[in-house]
Each structure stands twice: as C-alpha cells, then as structure tokens.
Structure 1
Amino acid sequence: MKQTRQDFPPGFLFGAATSSYQIEGHAFGGAGRTHWDDFAATPGNVVRAENGDRACDHYHRFEEDLDLVAAAGFDCYRFSTSWARVMPDGRTVNPEGLDFYDRLTDAMLERGLKPCVTLYHWELPSALADKGGWRNRDIAGWFADFTQTIMGRIGDRMYSAAPINEPWCVAWLSHFMGLHAPGLRDIRATARAMHHVLLAHGTAIQVMRDLGMNNLGAVFNMEWAAPADDSPEAAEKAALMDAYYNTWFLSAVFRGEYPAAALAGLEPHMPDRWQDDFAKIQSPVDWCGINYYTRKLIAPADGPWPALREVEGPLPKTQMEWEVYPDGLHDFLVRTARDYTGVLPLFITENGMANPDSVQDGAVNDPQRIAYVEAHLDAVLRAIAAGVPVQGYFLWSLLDNYEWALGYEKRFGLVHVDFDSLERTPKASYHALKSALTV
C-alpha cells in the first residue's frame, strides 16, 4: 500500500465490514426463515440456488474471524444483526439470537475493536414478508420493536449504530428491478418501499435515542450517474438516475423532501399522507455513511418511466463488471458535505471490489484489490484536503461470502474462504493493509 495510517488525520478510523446473512450461517442458532431463503429457493433467482444456510459459518467461527480483524490493525468492525435470528417470525424473541450478538459484541471489545452495528442488512423474516414487508407501513413499528429488542441487549456497548444498510437496495433493486428479495417488479410496491424504508430508519433512530444511545448514523449506497454521451437527453436521464438512486434518500433525511425528478415518476404510487412522515424521517443523526463501488453511464430508452438504460463503460472493471472509478467517491464526498450534511462527519462505510481470487501455494495474490483500495484512499485524501469532514473508511469485506443473487462466486474479501473446507487464507491485500495500519 502506498498510503499508511500516518497519511490520514489523527483519529481517522479504519474498519472491515460484513453482514449477518452473508457470513453467519442462517441455519444455526434458531434463526427463522427469511425472504432471502424464499428468493433463493425459487428457480432462476440465485446462481446455483445457493443460500445462506452455512455461508462462512461465522456463527461458530467468529472468534477466529475477529482475531483476523484485530491482527490487521483495524480500529472498528462493522457488522449487522439479523432480524430473523433475533425474532424468527419477526415478532417473537429468540434468546439464542440475542445471546449470539452478546457474545459477538464482547469478543470485539476483548480485542480492542469498536463495534459498529447495522441493524438491518436485508434479511427480512418471511412472516413479515407475508404481511407485505416493506410495502406495509406497519413495518416501521415492527422494526422499532426489533430495534428495541436487539439494542436493548447490546446497544450499551456499541461505538456506532445505523438502522438500515443501503435503502436503495432494500427498495428499488428489490421491488422495481426484482434482482434481490422479494424479487418484485412493481412500481407501486417500489414507491411504498422507498418511503417506508426511510420511515423505519427514522423510527429506529428515535428508539435508539430513547435507549440513551448516541453516535447514530444513516448509511446510503451511491453510484455516480454520468451521461453516456454529450446529448441533453442523456444528461437528463443521468440526473434522473441520480435522483432516485442517490438524492432521494439524502434529501429525505437531511432536507425533509424528495427530489422532484424522482417524485415525478413515483408520486402517483406513494402511500397516503407520505408528506406527514418527514419529521420522523429527519430524526437527527450524528454521521452519514457512504457505500461506494462504481459509476454507471446512462442513456435514454424507450418504455415507461424512468425510460433509461445503462451503457457499458470503457474503464477497467471488477469481477462484478463494475467500472473502477475512484473520482466518483471523491465527488460524492464533496457533494454530500456541500449540499446535504455540512459539518456532519462522513464515513465510507463500504468500499471494495470482487476479484476471482484463488489460493496458489498457500497464498492469494490480489494486486488488483490493492490497486483499487489505493486509488480510493487517494480519493478520500483529496476530499479531506478539500475540507470534507471524512472520519473513517471501512473495507468491504472482511471475508469472501454469500454475494446474494450471485451466490458464492464473487469474492470481495480481504480473506479468502474455501467454501468446502471453510478454511480462511488472508490475501495479499490483507497483508498490505496490515502493514499500512500497524506502522
């Protein structure tokens, strides 16, 4: 790594990130069925119909995995809690689930790691999906009860907390594009999910405040939307994608409004009296998290709203076929601080790349990942130099894991996982970061 910890301001935090369903092994510990289990069991939805039943078996191996986090010199571990593990039917408490997160929290603290929790990373209990899931306004209350239950147990030991990871994925990717559970392609369902996920976020923030918790934030995934050509039509469509992908959620939380370009297509399908919910959606947060991986080139398309399409770009690509575009991270950091969050601390809560890594002679050489991380840390340093209050950077991900509809073949980890033996092998990128962080 060309950067070291000393290149960043004092107190700048480095961490590794994971999510519950992707690594824990959902078949263990009394966890309930999720809409991801249902989605994966439906032919054609997931590569080889793979699911999270075993995943990385982090449920039994978390001590070993946290040893890897600590040995690398990371300050923080960003993890998520599984709603269906804590409440198998979404409503009834499973003591085994609470006990697991209790043990996990204590294990972090024993290793000097700051626990950074995300309450929800997409594993909705099937029983709540049966009731409409994110389409049902009641989910804000159900999520409040879950928040009260899990944070009532471990919230006193959290360094930071955020309610929901990547609301765009929860709502648009899953209800409009149909690529994630519940796999819908329905604009009415999408509009409701786009609103209710924000209502649930604000409700959970209020619950955690009432529990006496602080250092609470919001985490948004962002993709830089660029016109595919110089035409006004392409520019208009790129701005539209930016509105429903990026600024819909930022505008709601930090301005109490939805961007007009996105609302033009979604408002006819929004739930009744949606305007009345902004006071709760705007429940104050202490920081803002940005998950960033790539950009998209956008062009007009025929058909109903939003009538746009993605065009393949010319830049080098990761195993996900995502362009490597570090400038997008810099530009999002600058724009987010300038237009939405002001002096509020910003964190890169996810950044990383998938690569077809393999073990050769007991080692995993991944120079592409090292170069990717270096380029994006350069973008962070440029934003800091411009006065943006960036205070931390989290790598996605600690482990190769279950990559949702793409099964186990896309490897984002700093640590290679053999999904047959479950053996962990730190990659060259892990060792490079360890050297950079422990100087």
Structure 2
Amino acid sequence: MQLNRKDFPEDFLFGTATSSYQIEGHAFGGAGRTHWDDYADTPGNVVRAENGATACDHYHRYAEDLDLVAAAGFDAYRFSISWARVLPEGRGTPNPDGLDFYDRLTDAMLERGLKPYATLYHWELPSALADLGGWRNRDIAAWFGDFTETIMRRLGDRMDTVATINEPWCVAWLGHFLGGHAPGLRDIRAAARAMHHVLLAHGRAIEVMRGLGMEGLGGVFNLEWAHPADDSEEAYEAAARYDGIYNRWFMGGVFKGQYPDIVLDGLAPHMPEGWQDDMALISQPLDWCGINYYTRKLLAPAKGPWPSLKEVPGILPKTYMDWEIYPEGLLNFLERTASEYTGDLPIYVTENGMASHDDPVAGEVQDEHRIAFIEAHLADVRRALARGVPVKGYFVWSLLDNYEWSFGYDKRFGLVHVDFDTLARTPKASYHALKRALTGE
C-alpha cells in the first residue's frame, strides 16, 4: 500500500469489523434460535442451506482473533451483540453464558488496547419474536429497548461507541420486500411497517442508553450511489426512487425527522397508523454517523407496481459479489452526508471491503485486488478530509472470512482466511499490507 497512517490526521481511527452471527458460532453458549436459522432451514434460501451454527467459532477463539486485530495495528474493533445470545426468547430471563461471553470479549479488547465499537443488532432476530411479527410489530421497539438496557447495563461503561441497528435497509427492505434476507418476505405492507419500526426501535434504544448516562451513540447506514442507466427522464426518476428508498429514507428519518416524499408516494398507504407521531423519538440527536459503503447501482424504469425500477449491469470492474467497484461513490456520500444531514457530526466509514475467491497457495493468500480496493477507497476518504468533511475513522469489512448470509460460506470478505473445515486462520496479503501501513513493520 502507498498510503499509511501518516497520510491521515493524528486522531484518525483505523479498525476492522465483524458481526456476531457471522463469526461466533450460534450453536454455542446457550444462544436462542434466530430467524436466520429458520431462513437457512427453508430450501432455496441459502447456498447449501448453510447457517451460522459454527461459523468461525469465534465464541471459543476470540482471543486468537483479537490478537490478530491488535497485531495489525488497528485502533478499534467493531463487533455486534447477538440479541438471541443475550435473551434466547428475545424477552424475559437473560442467558448468563451470553452476558459472560460479551464481558470476556470486551475485557479482551481493552487488554489489547482496542477501542470497543459495539452494534446492538446485526440481523439475528430471535425466532420467538419473529413468531410475534418481528419487525412488522410495533412492539419490537419496546422489546429492543429492553434488550438494549439488559446488555448495556452490563457493558455500557466500557464501550467507546454503540450503534443501534446495522444497515436498516437490509433489515426492512431486503428482508421484507425483496425477500433476500430473513424473514424472506415479499410484501409491501410488511416492508413499509418494517421500514418505520426499524427506526422506531433505533430511537427507543438511543433513549434507553441516554437514560443510562451513555455517550458515543450513533447509527450505521448502508448506502449505494444511484446512477441513472441512461440520460432519459424515466431513468433519472428511477434512480431518484432507488436513492430515496435505499439512502434517504433512513438518513432523513434519523437526522431530519422526515421521510422523503418520493418514497412516501409508494409506502404511505401501507404505513402504520400514527407513524408521524414517532418522528421526534426517531430523530433525537446522535453523537456520530456511520456509513457502510460497497458499490453503486445503475437504475432504469420498469413496468409494474411501484417502485417500478430495475437494476442494470454496469461496465466497471466487479467484486465476487458482482458489485461494481466505484470508490467515487464513497466520496460522494461522505460529502452529501455532511452537507445535507449531519453537519459537523463525526462520520465513520464503518464498513468497506470486497469479496473475492481467496484460495491459499503454499500457505499464503495473495489478494492484491483487495489491497487495491482498500487503498482506492482510502484515497477518497483523504479527498473528503481535504474538502472539510469530518471523517474520523475507517473500518475494513471484514476481519475474517465468515458466513455471508444467503451466500453461505462462498463469499470471502476477510483480511484473514478461514478454513471452514479446520477453522485455521491465515492472514492474507491484505492483512500484512495494512499492518505495514498502520505500524510501519
């Protein structure tokens, strides 16, 4: 890598990120069943019907994994907390083994000089709550608030930051309208309710943590830059609708207390009654904003019901997820987020990375493509800083190859290769390149 730590402000933070269900091994430690277990057990949903029962066995190997984080010179570790590990039924009596695990994990970070950056929810809804309607049910905001209080009474005094819900678009739209994630619905009414309730739960969790005297609270949003597929007015309108659904709905709700009209045009008839009364809770002040960025999309009009759009393949180089590599989109979003939504609020790039097909050869994994991807995006972070955007940190997704949801174990995002038969860890060339950039070694 040509860039290194000295190319960024002295207080700029570098980290790497993971999520609970993707790495921990959900079969261990008394965790309850989740809707991802249900989704994976349904034929056709997940490659080879794979699930997170073992994953990377981070539950038992967390010390080894955190040694890798610290040795690379990262400042922070972004992790998530499994709701079903803490509360196996989603409510009621906590699981002592789950609470103890996150205690040990937090202390292990601190012992290695790593700042804990926690996320309360990364998609593993307890099945018992899914049975009650899950994100379609307004009561989920109260359930999530109770979960937040349970875990943050235990960990809150040791967290540097806490985010509420990772990538609300995936929770609500991908899971309830497109059917590509658990619970696997394709239902516009369910999607509209989930689109609102996921932000209501965010607001309730912030309220609970403020009540505990906590600071460092934020939200994390996945963003995709929307380009029209051609110069037609119809393509521009399709791109604007996509941008509204994917990006502006969640940012607008949290930072402005309002949803974009271009999305309400389609969702208003399906929204829960009295949703307008919730916007003050949803939009209470945050301490920072997180952006997860991977790609752009080209949009064209399509016949059929709202939102009447379709994605068109682009011509840029693609990752193994078939996502176009478009670093400029990260620069665009950093500037737009600061200018339109957050002002002087600190912004973190909370996820950025690429999937590839990484096979060890003679005990090494040469992933120069990932090095180039990271460096290109870091270069645009530097451009944003030069333009006055208050970017305070950058997290690589992901530390480990892991369970990539509906793609099973095929798509490898890790800086560290995981052999899913032996669970052996092998740092890739990208890991070593980042280590040199961050530590000079």
Q: 1:79-105 CA distances to partner (integer Å, 9 max, x unpaired)?
A: 000000000000131111000000000
- Report the equivalent of 1:241: 242
Kindly indicate whether residue 169 of structure 2 is the aligned counterpart of residue 163 of structure 1: no
Amino acid at match of 2:352: N
CA distance in 2, matches of 1:235, 1:161: 37
- Report the equivalent of 1:402: 403
CA distance in 2, matches of 1:115, 1:387: 27
- Report the equivalent of 2:316: 315
How many Å apart are 1:10 and its aligned residue? 1.3
How many Å apart are 1:438 and its aligned residue? 0.5
How many Å apart are 1:114 and its aligned residue? 0.1
How many Å apart are 1:337 and its aligned residue? 0.3
TM-score, structure 1 normalization: 1.00
CA distance in 2, matches of 1:250, 1:196: 14
Q: 1:119-177 CA distances to partner (integer Å, 9 max, x unpaired)?
A: 00000000000000000000000000000001110111000001100000000000000
How many Å apart are 1:284 and its aligned residue? 1.0
Amino acid at match of 1:53: A
Q: 1:290-335 CA distances to partner (integer Å, 9 max, x unpaired)?
A: 0000000000001000010000000000000000000000000000
Amino acid at match of 1:67: D
Amino acid at match of 2:307: P
- Report the equivalent of 2:83: 83
- Report the equivalent of 1:295: 296
SS at match of 2:99: helix
CA distance in 2, matches of 1:151, 1:77: 17
How many Å apart are 1:118 and its aligned residue? 0.1
Q: How does 1:343-362 map to 2 (within 5 A)?
A: 343-362=344-363
- Report the equivalent of 1:339: 340
- Report the equivalent of 1:4: 4
Q: How does 1:202-221 map to 2 (within 5 A)?
A: 202-221=203-222
- Report the equivalent of 2:287: 286
- Report the equivalent of 2:271: 270
How many Å apart are 1:65 and its aligned residue? 0.1
CA-atom RMSD in angstroms: 0.4
Amino acid at match of 2:270: H
SS at match of 2:412: coil
CA distance in 2, matches of 1:376, 1:355: 17
- Report the equivalent of 1:127: 128
- Report the equivalent of 2:105: 104
Amino acid at match of 1:74: F
TM-score, structure 2 normalization: 0.99
CA distance in 2, matches of 1:263, 1:71: 48
CA distance in 1, matches of 2:128, 2:38: 11
Q: Structure 2: where are the runs of 5+ without partners?
A: none
SS at match of 2:389: coil
CA distance in 2, matches of 1:384, 1:260: 31
SS at match of 2:291: strand
- Report the equivalent of 1:15: 15
CA distance in 1, matches of 2:14, 2:206: 24
Q: 1:270-303 CA distances to partner (integer Å, 9 max, x unpaired)?
A: 0000000011001210000000000000000010
- Report the equivalent of 1:182: 183
- Report the equivalent of 1:197: 198
How many Å apart are 1:193 and its aligned residue? 0.2
- Report the equivalent of 1:30: 30
Q: 1:383-423 CA distances to partner (integer Å, 9 max, x unpaired)?
A: 11010000000000000000000000000000000000000
How many Å apart are 1:218 and its aligned residue? 0.6
CA distance in 1, matches of 2:145, 2:96: 18
SS at match of 1:73: coil
CA distance in 2, matches of 1:378, 1:159: 26
Kindly indicate whether residue 84 of structure 2 is the aligned counterpart of residue 58 of structure 1: no
CA distance in 2, matches of 1:314, 1:230: 16
Kindly indicate whether residue 365 of structure 2 is the aligned counterpart of residue 364 of structure 1: yes
Amino acid at match of 1:81: I
- Report the equivalent of 2:388: 387
CA distance in 1, matches of 2:310, 2:283: 32
CA distance in 2, matches of 1:283, 1:26: 33
CA distance in 2, matches of 1:95, 1:282: 34
CA distance in 2, matches of 1:6, 1:200: 39
Kindly indicate whether residue 325 of structure 2 is the aligned counterpart of residue 324 of structure 1: yes
Kindly indicate whether residue 45 of structure 2 is the aligned counterpart of residue 45 of structure 1: yes
- Report the equivalent of 1:252: 253
- Report the equivalent of 2:428: 427
SS at match of 2:423: coil
SS at match of 1:45: coil
How many Å apart are 1:212 and its aligned residue? 1.2
CA distance in 2, matches of 1:28, 1:372: 35
Count of aligned pairs: 439
CA distance in 2, matches of 1:343, 1:10: 18
Moved over 6 A (4+): none
Amino acid at match of 2:5: R
Amino acid at match of 1:83: W
CA distance in 2, matches of 1:112, 1:208: 24
How many Å apart are 1:254 and its aligned residue? 0.7
CA distance in 1, matches of 2:104, 2:341: 37
